[in-house]
Chains A and B, each alone.
Chain A
Amino acid sequence: MSDSIERARWAVIDTWTVTGRDLLHWVRRPGPVLVGLLFPLLIVLMFGYLFGGQMTGFGPAGSGAASGQGYREFLVPGVFGMTMLFGLEITMLAVTVDANRGITDRFRSLAMSPVAVVGGRSVADLLNAVLGLAVMIAGGLAIGWRWRDGLGPALHAVALLLLLRFALIWVGVYLGLMVKGPEAVVAVQILVWPLGFLSNAFVDPATMPGWLGTIAEWNPLSSTVSAVRELFGNPVGQAGQGSWVTEHSMLMATLWPTLLLIVFVPLAVIRYRRLSR
């Protein structure tokens, strides 16, 4: 009994120590973190101002919003979601590098809590996501994006985004343990793009060919983005009038990440255990 309390205590302490290691990385080598934080802003500026003028149909009817402004309202929550998806690479790269450099083995040979290896990773990556969202929200506000339905729903939206990121941490841990070396991470970095574009993050799936639009609507990213748009009171596009998955985006924004967790937590744990085979 007191034994398991002791174990839990060390799991928390060790997790925090491993988290601290990542936070020290940010301080000692801020470059990659800064690029990671600023890159989504660049996407907002690129899409919002280069393509935004051509994007119509996003402003509330009769609101008189200048063309482009409506799209930017639509785009910003999409890029919030996209940022969570980019986080997959951060997790995966960190896990692969540690495994390849022998750091993971060193952790495993210590008398530390085994939970802390992935636990520390999760906390650090979630903190990174919080920081990323804070930067994005500030950037969004600067170009005129607003949350329009009050603070409560806005915080709910942030929670849904972080839930998606949390689920993707486990996907990243699993993939990071699967691949042989950091080179393979590049493949995932590339594949993240079509995965992100095949959603409602940048354009309304209603404008895609029917079958493609359906796939985009069923993309877990789309559910989170739709729910978040609704909670922020931003334009949701005309998508999915009648489509079940979009109508139920609020439910699906919880269900999809839960499903990912149900699948990938055991996979990652099995993979981690198989390091000793």
Chain B
Amino acid sequence: MSNKNTDGENAVVVTGLRKRYGSVEALAGLDLVVPRGTVYGLLGPNGAGKTTAIRILTTLLRADGGSAEVSGFDVARQPAAVRARIGLVGQHAAVDEILSGRQNLVLFGRLNHLGPERARRRADELLDRFALADTAGLPVDRYSGGMRRRLDLAVGLITAPSVLFLDEPTTGLDPRGRNEVWDAVRALVAAGTTVLLTTQYLEEADQLADAIAVIDSGRVIAEGSPDRLKSMIGGDRVEVVLRRVQDLTRAAEVIAAATGGAPGAAPSGASDGRLEVDRDARRIRALVADRSGALVQVVRALDAAGLETEDVALRRPTLDEVFLQLTGHSATKDSTLEVLA
């Protein structure tokens, strides 16, 4: 068989992966290459095919077409070899609610074929590492959401897998729980694990991933480093609402100069201009590359020009806006995909 990543440089290689559920095409020829030792983010709305991709890569689901290799092993033909090298943290914390944190780790350690003594030692190591040692004896149903996810992560890491799959690791967590999980993921990556994570949140991908693939309707529609992707989709926006409508033209020039773009000049790949003027709302929206620096510059420039503002704000593009720009259609009907601020 042809192992495309025999050089060991790539942890995951996916080629033309297809999966259909009835009339719904969950994956329509997905291609991915995840270099070893990196964090790769799959960004997309509900139903984009993220979970389907993860389930195929972790051998839980069979693909209809295409191929996928994890750590050099074909997921369809060598599932046992793949399972021995991966960790999976799914959408819900798949830990036993009745058992304690330590009992969970020992149970899954034993099922990973560690001996009783090694399973216990490994459990203690992981409890320490994920700051769960104090609550190790409590039943999991008394854990907070963040603790549960950390335990879930710990279970996924019992065998020190070479590739860790995280399917929406922070969905449903409060900001504190989310930060706890992010810290844990960063620590793992520092120790050399390859991570493939899915998320609906642009900021999460931005915070964690070295490279991001935006997927929609089962295929990759944009790929690159967070910076590259952000410049492609326009990055952050400074929004200025002026007090007087007659200042609008002048303000547009000042803001354009301050953010380094000419009014009306479109960035490559984006459908709208760098600067947007809404006369009725007396509002100017400018795409900026450098978040806080741009805000300060805009405020100073407007102040120097003596233009009065009602409101000045910096906002990140929502995933909906990203999708609108990349695909020309909205990400979802419901508006649950707001980027976390």
Contacts and interface: CB of A to CB of B under 8 A. Distances in A.
Interface of A: 10, 14, 17-18, 20-21, 24-25, 28-29, 101-103, 105-112, 116, 275-277
Contacts of B60: 105, 108-109, 275-276
A111 B80 contact: yes
B112 A111 contact: yes
B94 A110 contact: no
Interface residues of B, number: 32
A267 B267 CA distance: 58
Given A109-B60, A111-B80, A111-B84, A103 B96 contact: yes
A110 B61 contact: no
A17 B115 CA distance: 11
A108 B155 CA distance: 14
B58 interface: yes
A18 B111 CA distance: 8
A120 to B, nearest CB: 10
B77 to A, nearest CB: 14
8 contacts: A14-B111, A21-B99, A28-B139, A105-B55, A105-B60, A106-B155, A111-B80, A111-B159
Which 10 A/B pairs are nearest by Cβ-Cβ distance?
A102-B94, A106-B94, A111-B84, A112-B111, A109-B88, A111-B83, A17-B110, A102-B90, A102-B92, A109-B58
B86 interface: yes
Contact of B94 (A24, A101, A111, A275): A101
B329 to A, nearest CB: 29
B91 interface: yes
A190 B80 CA distance: 41
Contact of B111 (A29, A107, A277): A107
B229 to A, nearest CB: 29
B94 A112 contact: no
A75 to B, nearest CB: 34
Contacts of A275: 60
Interface string B86-112: 101011111111111001000110111
A275 B62 CA distance: 9
B107 A17 contact: yes
Interface of B: 55, 58-62, 80, 83-84, 86, 88, 90-100, 103, 107-108, 110-113, 139, 155, 159
Contacts of B55: 105
Main SS class of interface, A:
helix
A22 to B, nearest CB: 10
B141 to A, nearest CB: 9
B97 A110 contact: no
Given A109-B58, A111-B112, A21 B107 contact: yes
Given A24-B103, A275-B60, A106 B113 contact: no
A191 B137 CA distance: 39
A85 B3 CA distance: 52
B61 A102 contact: no
A109 B85 CA distance: 10
Given A102-B94, A276-B61, 13 more contacts: A10-B113, A28-B100, A101-B94, A102-B90, A102-B92, A105-B55, A105-B94, A106-B94, A106-B108, A106-B155, A110-B111, A111-B113, A116-B111
Nearest to B100: A28
Contact of A102 (B91, B139, B159): B91
Contacts of A103: 94-96
Nearest to B110: A17
A110 B99 contact: no
A275 B58 CA distance: 13
A277 B94 contact: no
A14 B61 CA distance: 22
Contacts of A29: 98, 139
A24 B29 CA distance: 45
B42 to A, nearest CB: 18
Contacts of B112: 110-112
A106 B86 CA distance: 11
Contacts of B95: 103
Contacts of A102: 90-94
A106 B88 contact: yes
A111 B62 CA distance: 17
A181 B120 CA distance: 33
Nearest to A103: B94
A25 B99 contact: yes
A123 to B, nearest CB: 15
Nearest to A104: B94
A14 B113 CA distance: 8
B11 to A, nearest CB: 16
Contacts of A276: 59-62
A9 B111 CA distance: 13
A106 B60 CA distance: 9
A112 B84 CA distance: 9
Contacts of A105: 55, 60, 88, 90, 94
A117 to B, nearest CB: 10
A18 B107 CA distance: 8
A20 B159 CA distance: 21
Contacts of B159: 111
B317 to A, nearest CB: 32
Question: Which residue, of A28, A111, A275, has the highest number of chain B Cβ atoms within 10 A?
Answer: A111
Nearest to B165: A109
Nearest to A277: B62
A277 B56 CA distance: 10
A275 B84 CA distance: 20
Contacts of A17: 107, 110-111
A112 B61 CA distance: 17
